[in-house]
A and B are shown apart, each in its own frame.
Chain A
Amino acid sequence: MLFFSYFKELVGKEVTVELKNDLAIRGILHSVDQYLNIKLENTRVVDQDKYPHMLSVRNCFIRGSVVRYVQLPPDGVDIDILHDATRREARGG
């Protein structure tokens, strides 16, 4: 549940989601659910010349199971808070 909570904090920020088929989609994080499915708004594919398959898509839902990386804004993570939270989770709550 830790990363679910963490991603909820990132709602409204711009992220790049790289998929397991090498497609990378940039957009504003709109929402996340328990499966880490991601909804992005105002999306554009990073290499549109190579991947014109989503040219008429501006909002999308990405299935959590196909996400390889989520690239975050530089100020998107508070290391100290995340450290504490991971330690707490490792101790079992």
Chain B
Amino acid sequence: MSDGPGLESLVDQTISVITNDGRNIVGILKGFDQATNIILDESHERVYSTKEGVQQLVLGLYIIRGDNISVVGELDEELDANLDLSKLRAHPLKPVIH
């Protein structure tokens, strides 16, 4: 994450997006614009629940409208590889209330 506040530095990297409705989508950032609309390649959703570990749903190529985006995080591959998603239990994130 060098220069400027935009998402330039994250292009072609794996990112983790949190949407306003509380979903977590992980994929490779292919493009973005002024309104934070983003294009994600090879994406999947990580579904959190308290009953079982994190489920991963394959989504493929995805466009997310900027209005619906809360956070774009740079996924640290090493940290992520050390996470045991099957053992992680948590409530899904709450939706954003404006």
Interface set of A (CB-CB < 8 Å, partner B)? 19-23, 25, 30-33, 37-39, 41, 43, 50-63, 65-66
Contacts and interface: CB of A to CB of B under 8 A. Distances in A.
Nearest to B90: A52
B4 A31 contact: yes
A33 B76 contact: no
A57 B74 contact: yes
Given A22-B94, A52-B88, A61 B71 contact: yes
Contacts of B98: 20, 65
A40 to B, nearest CB: 9
Nearest to B6: A33
Interface in B40-98: 46, 48, 66-67, 69-76, 79-80, 83, 88, 90-91, 93-98
A63 B73 contact: no
Interface of B: 1, 4-7, 10, 16, 18, 20, 22, 24, 36, 46, 48, 66-67, 69-76, 79-80, 83, 88, 90-91, 93-98
17 contacts: A20-B98, A21-B22, A31-B5, A33-B4, A52-B88, A54-B18, A54-B73, A55-B79, A55-B83, A55-B88, A56-B80, A58-B79, A61-B10, A61-B73, A63-B69, A63-B71, A65-B98
B90 A54 contact: no
Contact of B83 (A20, A39, A56, A65): A56
